[in-house]
Structure 1
C-alpha cells in the first residue's frame, strides 16, 4: 500500500469516525430534549388530572384504574411514586404518566409518534451529511496525499540516481517550509557534499597515480637490469604488479570522468571474445590445476556488433581474470547472440557486489573474495560502450557475469566463426 493510499484511508477513516461520533451525540441530545419536553407536558396534564379527580371531575382523556398499564410504570405507582414511562414496543410509541390518589390509579398517556418520526428524519439527515462529509474528506485527503506523494517520489528517484552514480541529479526547490521542502534541501545538500568528496577522491587518486608513473617506470626498468636469479625475478614480478595496479588506477580515474568515448566499428563478437580470452588464465599465485587452467570459449550463436573492440576485449579479459582469481576452474565464456556470459565454479559473488555493484578499492578479504579494480574497470568500460553488465549467482553454484551487447548488434551471421562450436583460448588460433 502506497503512501497516498495510506494517507487517503487515514483521512477518510478519521472523517467517518468524526461523523459517526457527531451523529451519535446529536441523536442522543435531541432524543433527550424531546423526551424531557414531552415528560414535562404529560406531567402537567397528570397533575391537572389528579386535582380534577380529587374534586370529583374526571377529564375525558384521563384513565382511572385502567386494566393495562406498562409493568415498570405500575411498579413505580404501587410504590407511591408519580412516574412517567416511554413505551416503544407497542403498535406505536406511547408516553405514559401515572400517580396514586387514595385507592385509585390515575393514568394519562400521549402518542410519541411525531417525536419518533422527527428523530428518524434527523438520523437520515445526519447519515447523509456524514456520508457527504466523509466523501469530501476522502477527495481532499487523496489530493493532498497525491501532491505530497509526488514530491516524496521525486526525492526518492533523485536519491536513487545519486546512489547509482549520477552526481548531477538534483531536486527542484519549491516554496514552503514544510518537512518535504526541508527534505528537498537536505537531499540537494547531501548530493553536493557527496559529489565534492568523490571528485576530490578521484582527483587525489589520479594525481597520486600520475606522480607514481615515472618512478614506477624507472623501477621496472631498473629491475630488468638486475642479474638473473630468484631475487631478481621476485623484484621484477613485484615491480610489474605495482605498474599494473597504477595503470588500473589511472584507467578507473579516466572512466570516472565524462570524456571517454567509444571508437566503434563492426566486429564479430565471437572473434572478439576469443581474442580477449586468449592468454588469460589463472593469475600468479594460483595453486594446483587452477594454475595452468585456461578459459573455455563456447560459441552458441555468433553475431556482428558495432562496438569498440578494444573496450570489449578489456572488459572480458577482466571478467575472466576475476573468475580465475576469486572463483574456481573451469571458467566458461559463452557467446549467445549479443550476450557474453562468463561463468566459474567458485563460491559466487558476495552479497555486497550483487546489491551495490563493483566498488573500487573495496575487497572482500575478510571472506576470501577480493574484488580489486578489475570489475570496477569492466563496469566502467561497459558503461562507455552503452552495454549492460550484470552479476549473478546461478542456482547450480559459481558466479556468472553477463555482458549484454544486444543494443549494438548489426545483424545475425556467423562471420566465419563456426557457430555452435567450443574451444579454449589456447586453440582459438587454429
Structure 2
C-alpha cells in the first residue's frame, strides 16, 4: 500500500497477517505446537535473554497469537499487545506488573460482577487492595487517591448497566496522581470507542465477547498504549528496576514505549501461565474480520429494542445510552457516536419475580452468562452474575433485583421485539 493509513475495516481483516511464507496459505495458520526449534545455541541464548525476538514456547508466545496481538493493538491504536486465556487473566497479569503487597488500585463501582468479585476477594490473597469510586462522581476518584495508589481501573461501557464512563475526566485524575489508567473496553470494542485516544494507558478486553463475537472461544488481551513513563518515582519496580531473571535488564529502559506489554509477557504470562490456545486465537481472529459489520448491526438492533421496551407498560425504566432521554446520552454522543453498544439493562415493574419470569418465557433470546454473541442473550444479574453481592452492592453496580440484562445480537430486530413482546405480555 501507499503511505495512506488503512481504515478500521481494512485493519480488522489485514493487520498483523501475511500469507504463510512456506505454504502460501492466506488464512493465518493454527500453529498447534508447544515448542519451536532454535537455530543454534547462540540463538537460543539470545531469545531467553530478551536480546532477540522470536518463539520459544507457546506459553510465552505463538505465531498465531502474535497475529491476533498485532491486530488488536492496531485497532486500539496501541504499541503492542499480549493475548491471554481470558479477560480475567488479562486483569491479573496487568495488575501483577503494577502492584506489590499492600498497594491499592481504584476501580469504578460499575463493573462486571465477576470483576467486582475478583477485585474484592481473590486479589486479597495477593495483598492487592481495591478502593471503590463512583464513575458518576469524578471527584470520588480524586478522593480515593493515596500514596499506595498504583492504578485506576474503569470500563468504557459498564457491564451490566450499559452506562458510558467519562474516560477523559478520569484520565485527568490518573495523570494528576501519576498512575496509569486501565480501561476495560470489552463492551464497546475499538469499533465504538478507542480509550487510548481519550487518555487510557492500558486497555484490556475479554476477547470472548464482541471481538471474537461468536460465543465459541474464550480469550483475553492486554494493549499497551505506550504512553506511560514507568521509570518516574520508582513506583513500578517490575518495569524500572533491574530484572535479576534477565541479567539486570531494565524493561522500561530497554523496550521503551512497549515495555509494559513486554513485562506482561516475560514476567506475567511466563510465570503465571494463562496462555491462550492457538486454536482459540485463530477463531477470535476470524471473528474480528467482521467486527465492524457486526458491531453496527448490534448497535442498530439494540437501539430499536430499547425504544420498544421504553414504551412497554410492564417496563419501569430502560438504561440505554442510545436513547435521547438517558442520562448518559451526551457521553455516548461524545465517546461512541456510531452507537451506544449492544448491552443494556431494563427494570420491570414486577421486580425480582418478574425478571426471573421474563427470562423463562423468552424463546429466541438465549438465557446464559455471556455477552457479545451474534445471538441475542438475556440474563437476570441479581440471581446469577451479581448474586454474590449484597443488595446494596447490586444496586450500586446497576444489577438491582428488578433488572434484566440484554445482549442484542444480529438477528432481525422485528423478531427480537416480537419475542420480548410475547414474554412481557400485556
TM-score computed with the length of structure 2 as normaliser: 0.24
* Larger-Rg structure: 1
- More helix as a share of residues: 1
